[in-house]
Amino acid sequence: MVDVSKHELVPAHNVLDEAELEDVMQEYNIRKTDLPKIKRSDPALPDEAAVGDVIEIVRDSRTTDRAVVYRLVVE
């Protein structure tokens, strides 16, 4: 079986630790529940991602070189 999360076209998905999460929440003045959601069953998520974690997704961008987005893992 193919591991989709390791495919070259799938952007990097990283689980944020508590300190990084706190920095993001303060920077954007939001709560964790304000973030867009991503299902735990999404094949691109790392194995260690659990419901309630926040994922940082880093994509290549033609206009800004890289784009960073955040998603809350839900069931």
Where are the domains positioned within the chain?
A: 9-74
Q: Supply the pTM of this predicted model.
A: 0.86
Give the CATH H-level superfamily of domain 9-74.
RPB5-like RNA polymerase subunit (3.90.940.20)
End-to-end CA distance of the chain: 23
Integer Cα distance of 21 and 30 in angstroms: 11
- Which residues are 60's β-sheet partners? 66
Integer Cα distance of 53 and 42 in angstroms: 14
10-residue averages of pLDDT along the chain (75 residues) = 79 93 95 95 91 95 91 96
